[in-house]
Structures are given as C-alpha cells and as structure tokens.
Amino acid sequence: MAAPSLLHWRRVSSSTGPVPRARHGHRAVAIRELMIIFGGGNEGIADELHVYNTATNQWFLPAVRGDIPPGCAAHGFVCDGTRILVFGGMVEYGRYSNELYELQASRWLWKKVKPHPPPSGLPPCPRLGHSFSLYGNKCYLFGGLANESEDSNNNVPRYLNDFYELELQHGSGVVGWNIPVTKGLVPSPRESHTAVIYCRKGSGSPQMFVFGGMCGARLDDLWQLDIETMSWSKPETKGTVPLPRSLHTASVIGNKMYIFGGWVPHKGENMETSPHDCEWRCTSSFSYLNLDTAEWTTLVSDSQEDKKNSRPRPRAGHCAVAIGTRLYFWSGRDGYKKALNSQVCCKDLWYLDTEKPLAPSQVQLIKATTSSFHVKWDEVPTVEGYLLQLNTDLPYQAASAESSAAPSMPGGRAEPHRQGGSGTLAHGISDTINSAETERTAAKGISVRNKADFKAADLKATSHSPLASGASNHSSCVADVLRKNEGPHTSANASVLSSCLDLRTVIPETSVSGTVSGAQTLIAQHTIKTESPSTNGAVVKDETALTALSTKAEVDETCVLPATKISRVEIHATAMPLSKETPSIPVATVKAGERQWCDVGIFKNNTALVNQFYLLPKGKQGASKVENADVPDYSLLKKQDLVPGTAYRFRVAAINGCGISPFSKVSEFKTCIPGFPGAPSAVRISKNAEGIHLSWEPPTSPSGNILEYSAYLAIRTAQIQDNPSQLVFMRIYCGLKTSCTVTAGQLANAHIDYTSRPAIVFRISAKNEKGYGPATQVRWLQGNNKKAPLN
C-alpha cells in the first residue's frame, strides 16, 4: 500500500441521475460495478433504494416491487450474488425492528421472509447497530442495541452481545435461525461496531473480526471468531491501534481490513479517567489491519489536517463499498462535537485505489491495414487509463513537421466516471451476457438503455445459462462479432468474434490425417502454421458464450443474442495527455542492444486505433520498475507513422490512483503490404445437417478482383499439445463463393483453444492478383467441456 502522503483520493463529480439526499446510518453493498444503498436517516428515515453505477458515474432509482420494507437505519445489509438481505434497524425513533427482507436485484423484487426460530432459545430481538456478515450460505448476527422500554418515546438502551447464525436457502429464501454454542471469552456488549469475515488462502478456516463499537464509551478492541470451531479469541496485534470509535466502516480487500472514519474521542480528553463523560468528534483517520499478520498500519492519522480538501472530511455513519481493489465512500454525518448537536450530513462521494492494477492481457489484433492497427486488450476493472507502447526493428525516424504537431486530444485525465455519456441509465442487474454491441457493459450483466424508466420484467435473469432468454429455444451457435472498425451491423452478423491476421508468411502446406467417429478420413489439405504465437488470436474478454452444436437436423438456423441499445460510442481510441492528478509513468534508460519502447499514448478505454507513435527522448523508454519519474509531454514529442509490411511489438499497462501496473506480455503484429486485399468481414456461423455453415462478406478494400477465398481450421496436433499457443491450421475451403460447409468429420479434428474461453478457431482470407491478404480470425465459443463440438 502507498505511504500516507501518496494516497490518491478522488472525489467523484459530474454524476448524472437522481442523486440521493445526504444521510447517515445507511448501508451499502456492491454487485459487480454497482453500489446499492438502502435506508439511513436525515430529517426522517429514508425508505428508497438507490443505485450508483461506478463505471458510468450514474445514479438511478430502480422501480422496486413486492413486499417493500419500511425505511430503516443502522440495519444489517448483506449481498449474496444478486440477492440482498436486510435485517433489523431503527424504523422510527425509539422503535427497532427484527424483520428480515430479501431483495432479488435481478428483478428488483422485495420479499418479506420469516425464518424458523432457533431450536432452542428465542429469535433475535428488535435492534439497531448490529453487525450482519455473510459467509457461504450463512449470515452471522452479533450485538446491537435494544430498547428495554415498551414505550418508544421512553428509550431504555440495552447493549447486546448475543450471537446468531441464519441459514440461507440457495438462490432465494431462508431456513432459520440458530444459536451456535461458542467457546472462549465472548466480546463485551456493543453497538455500531464492525464485523468482517476473512479466509486466509490455504488455511480454509474462515475468521470473523469484530472491531470497536459503543457501550457507553467507544471501544478499540479487536475480537476474532473461528467460524468452524466457534471459538472466540482476542488476537495480539502489532502497530498503532486506531483510536476507539463507533459508526466507522470496515472493508476487506485482499488480506487487509480498512477502517475509515467514525466517532472518536475529542482531542485532549483523558478517556481513562472519564470515558463516559468525554466529548466525541468525527474523524477522517484511515488505517488497515493485515489479517494475516495482525499488524495495524496507519495511512491517515487523526492529527493530519487536510487544508486542500484532497481527501474526505471527517464523518461517521457513512457507507463504504469495495469494488475490486477500489474503495468507495459516500455521505455520513460530520460534526466536531457531538454534544453540541452541530453535525451535518456530507453529500460527497469519494474513492481510493488501494493497490496498483494487475497487468492487462496481451494486446489483441482486431484489424490490420497498410498503415494502422486496430487493437484491444481485456479490460482491467477500476482503472483510469492504459499506457500502450510499441517497438519495431526498423530504425526510428523523425516524422515530418506536419505529423509531429500535437494531436487533437481531449483535455484532462482519464475519468472512469464519464465513460457512459449523458443520458444513459443502467436499469438492472442480469445474469445474462448480451451481444458484442454491449461488449463492455454486458459482461458485467448490466442492461443499458436510453430510457429513464424501465420494467422489472426486462431484467429476467437466466440462472447459470450463457444464453439470453431470446436465444434459449435451441442450442445453435451464439457468438460475438467485431467487424473491423465498424462493429456489428445486424443480429445475424453477431455470430462470430473476428480479428485480422496476416497469413502471407506461412509455412508451406503439409497433410494431416485423422480418425472421425471410427471411420478413417484423409485430410490432405493446406495446413498452416502461424508465424509466431503473437498472431494467435484477437480474443475479446466479453465474449458471448457459444453452446455446442446440437445433433438435431435443424438446418440453417443461426442463434444470436438480441442487441442491447446503448447511447455511447463503443470504441474510444483517442490518446490523451496525463493531467497532474494522473500517476507518474515510470521511465528508465535503454540498455545497449535493446529496442526502444515508444509510447502510442494513454487511452481511456481498452481499444486503440494505432497509426503513429511518439518518439521519446534518446536513451529513454517506458519501464515498469522505476517509479516517480516525470511523464513525457506528448505535445512536445515528434511522432512517426507506421510503415507498410512491418512487424510491430505491443505491450500495455493499466493506470490507477496507486500507479502503473506491470506491462502485459508482448504481442507482435504486421502491417499489410499495399495492393493485397483486405480481410473478409461479417463472418457468420450456423448449423446444418452436415456440420456447420460458415459465411462471410467480401473485403471492404479488395484492391482489385478477388480470385478466391480460403478458409482454415485450427486442428489438433502433438505440436499444439506441447505448445498450445502455436496453432496449426488446415485449409477446409478454397473457392470463389463467400460460404462453405465445415463437415462433422473436419470438426471432430478441431483443436479447442483454451487461451481464454474454450473455442474452435477459424481463419478466412481473400486472394487477388497480388496474392492473399490478411485473414479474419474467428473464435467459435464452445461449452466448458472438452467433448467434440457436435456432441
């Protein structure tokens, strides 16, 4: 974790949609990139459900239905997949609840559930300020505050330290309460504490950690419960323990429990002499506990003042949510002295990256031309941009004066909360993965629409199914398409995932034989070996799953997912300068004999159209190990154009508030030679009685008359088993038609590529008077098993 002075807090601004009113005592959970908030109080208890989409910087109010619970504050709130459970809380002043509600977020459907009482003993009494933690199929309830008085206007507080477990049914519903028999000394009664559950890798025994809380005075003790043995203990810790506090938040990322905010003793008070009489104030202190070593680390101390408003101001009763390795904080109450009743509620939303991002996947090729590449890489969650670099064996030459001018770039840093564009609202959560048109959003299960209203019926989840409801009537093929620069055109075109590869530098043909279903079938056709592993596929992360072909004779049926309309441009490949807020990009000196890595630019999204690169100062190159160096000013650097028929190596790194990730593995692609035809496009796959039907559209730039097409299939060989990234192809078609049939016998010999999701790989190329141009590669996604594709 970065040192305290290097924390890069970000305050979120310019969000769209109905922003909820500020509050405290609310709770929040995360479902993928969504932060879901319920309850809390500020001039009355809130009863609405608010959702914030961290990827699009948009708030929305889902149209919930069913047994909608009353508003509550200081309640239990946990998330199990797309199911949320709410227990207890204050429903009005002095009146607490012990009711349990379930929300199915895939349909925004509330349901009141009634667990069976424990076999021995009473169910939990009405309470607030308790902890409610989920692990596996059980929720664990500890402590809280009850009202001993039957008169809600005459509050007689009773602090609790009882412990319950609630068994859940799979998917929906609950079984009942149980009162586990625990061992060891039980923590003292308390409310407004935190409890998290952590399971160390390899140990297999989940542990619940309870920290702080209130019992007349604030507490700073740490307790540990072994969930398997139900044994309480008080671990010895190292480092500086955070001040006693309540109404703070605790969030687990990796092996760290992050503690932020809360009520702490007022400076100068001696708690040991008067713990009940001292005054309390909000804090913005920030610490974490390493749950493996039990060592505390202070990131922001209570004495550090923030005069530049560069981090959240002191608060208590706020909410915190971890999405990936990023922490979000929203609202809460602020007040210097609680006794003066002068606190107000904060309205701000902040986030903090806690770790550098992981390295992105290899750069993947979508399209190559004589002077450009259209490339992409798998998206890394919660990053602010990507640094793309290349090098080549050609000597670098300064570009012309025209081309060395600064490019037209959008100002400012990569702001992840502005990617969605105004007017786009996310309206629900679904387990369905949609077509490639919704590439970035659909993989996270969010249906994005252009309407401000929606119907819950639109959000039908398809539990564990890779197909949308509209594609579930048969098991024909389903796939994505990335058609050159233009994206999908029709639903029929959304049947393949394509990339363009140069097949003009391949090994001469050989012959391969194989056995198909007990019958000998000679496959003496064109076999192709890729030039290097780097040409192995433009694999898109957000691929729509393909089912294996059915053996039923349903001829000429193509199964595609319905496209979801979105209001933003899918591919944003504009390079942008770094602002002062963006972490420094490290640089290092080039060693003798090494090729210099040059910056292509910083990109907001995970795609780029590359036709030029920047010439860095002599003897400098991007490197991932040297930190805190100045970022080059791209407006002052010369640029160089890509050259036809030239191989270029690419790598990419992700950037967030903590810095830059390691670079990806290197990929290598070659620009096309002028005069050769472009790659075929709009590839479609459908099944027929003989196997599958493969069709495509002619190249958009044929550069003359197309003389023939060739289609190739990646096949199983001993060589591939030794080196899975080195694909071997056989030619399965050669002719003038823009379609062919791939027989069951040929498919039985197909190699299943597991570099990402299981797929059969095809390549299709066109030939003109000058020769063959680059090929379009398509990955026909299979199920997770290794059976033959027609089984």
CATH of 684-781, one of 3.40.50.1100, 3.50.50.60, 3.40.50.2300, 2.60.40.10: 2.60.40.10
What span, in angstroms and rounded, lies between the C-alpha atoms of 547 and 759? 10
Q: Which residues pair with 138 in a beta bridge?
A: 135, 167
* Of 123-127, 137-141, 700-704, the least confident: 700-704
Average pLDDT over residues 534-562: 27
Inform me whether the pLDDT recorded for 300 exceeds 80: yes
Q: Are 622 and 586 in contact (CB under 8 A)?
A: yes
Query: What is the separation, in whole angstroms, between the first and last Cα of the chain?
Result: 50
Average pLDDT over residues 94-110: 96
pLDDT bin (cut points 50, 70, 90) of residue 393 is confident
pLDDT for 181:
96
Q: Cα angle at 323 between 211 and 18, to 5 degrees?
A: 105
Inform me whether the pLDDT recorded for 782 exceeds 60: yes
Output the CA torsion sign for 678, 679, 683, 688: positive
pLDDT for 701:
83
- For 420-449, the DSSP string reads T-TT-EEEEE-S----GGGHHHHTTTEEEE
Q: Distance of CA 63 to CAs 105, 292, 423, 462, 558, Å?
A: 11, 42, 18, 20, 35
pLDDT for 336:
52
Helix (H) or strand (E) holding 721, with range, is: helix 718-722
Strands 65-66, 109-113: pairing kind: parallel
Q: Which residue has the higher pLDDT, 428 or 677?
A: 677
pLDDT for 150:
80
Q: Which residue has the higher pLDDT, 158 or 429?
A: 158
Q: Distance of CA 426 to CAs 172, 328, 396, 441, 442, Å?
A: 24, 19, 46, 9, 11
What span, in angstroms and rounded, lies between the C-alpha atoms of 10 and 576? 19
Residues above pLDDT 70, as percent of the chain: 67
What span, in angstroms and rounded, lies between the C-alpha atoms of 2 and 509? 55
435-475 residue pLDDT tens: 222 222 222 333 223 333 323 333 233 233 222 223 333 32
pLDDT bin (cut points 50, 70, 90) of residue 700 is confident
User: Which amino acid is present at 745?
Assistant: G
Inform me whether the pLDDT recorded for 248 exceeds 60: yes
Inform me whether the pLDDT recorded for 75 exceeds 60: yes
Tokens read off for 763: 């390549």
pLDDT for 531:
31
Average pLDDT over residues 195-220: 93
What span, in angstroms and rounded, lies between the C-alpha atoms of 547 and 781? 7
Helix (H) or strand (E) holding 719, with range, is: helix 718-722
Q: Which residue has the higher pLDDT, 541 or 665?
A: 665
What are phi and psi for residue 432, nearest 5 degrees?
A: -85, 135
Architecture of the CATH domain 357-394+596-615+637-673: Sandwich (2.60)
Averaged confidence pLDDT in the chain: 75
Q: Which residue has the higher pLDDT, 691 or 503?
A: 691
Average pLDDT over residues 320-347: 81
pLDDT bin (cut points 50, 70, 90) of residue 403 is very low
pLDDT for 787:
53
What are phi and psi for residue 132, nearest 5 degrees?
A: -140, 105
Give SS3 for 223.
Answer: strand
What span, in angstroms and rounded, lies between the C-alpha atoms of 29 and 46? 17
165-203 residue pLDDT tens: 999 999 999 999 999 999 999 999 999 999 999 998 877
Inform me whether the pLDDT recorded for 588 exceeds 60: no
What does the H/E/C string look like for 628-690?
CCCCCCHHHCEEEECCCCCEEEEEEEEEECCEECCCCCCEEEECCCCCCCCCCEEEEEEECCC
Q: Are 10 and 352 in contact (CB under 8 A)?
A: yes
Most confident of 385-394, 487-496, 621-630, 771-780: 385-394
* Of 199-208, 276-285, 515-524, 669-678, the least confident: 515-524
Domain spans, the chain: 10-268+278-353, 357-394+596-615+637-673, 684-781
Residues above pLDDT 90, as percent of the chain: 53
Q: Do domains 357-394+596-615+637-673 and 684-781 have the same CATH topology?
A: yes
What span, in angstroms and rounded, lies between the C-alpha atoms of 786 and 771? 37
Average pLDDT over residues 220-238: 97
pLDDT for 446:
30
Q: Which residues pair with 711 in a beta bridge?
A: 733, 764
CB atoms within 10 A of CB 676: 26
Q: Distance of CA 345 to CAs 25, 39, 75, 663, 740, Å?
A: 11, 14, 18, 42, 66
CATH class of the domain comprising 10-268+278-353:
mainly beta
What span, in angstroms and rounded, lies between the C-alpha atoms of 358 and 381? 9
Q: Which of 393, 502, 373 is nearest to 775 (CA)?
A: 502
Output the CA torsion sign for 123, 127, 130, 132: positive
Tell me, rounded to whole angstroms, the distance of Cα 740 from its chain centroid: 38
pLDDT for 399:
44
pLDDT for 108:
97
Inform me whether the pLDDT recorded for 341 exceeds 80: no
pLDDT bin (cut points 50, 70, 90) of residue 776 is confident
Average pLDDT over residues 125-138: 97
pLDDT for 594:
60
Binning the chain into helix, strand and coil, the percentages to the nearest 5 are 5, 40, 55
Inform me whether the pLDDT recorded for 17 exceeds 80: yes
pLDDT bin (cut points 50, 70, 90) of residue 721 is low
* Of 259-263, 518-522, 615-619, the least confident: 518-522
632-658 residue pLDDT tens: 788 889 999 999 989 999 999 999 999
Average pLDDT over residues 703-728: 83
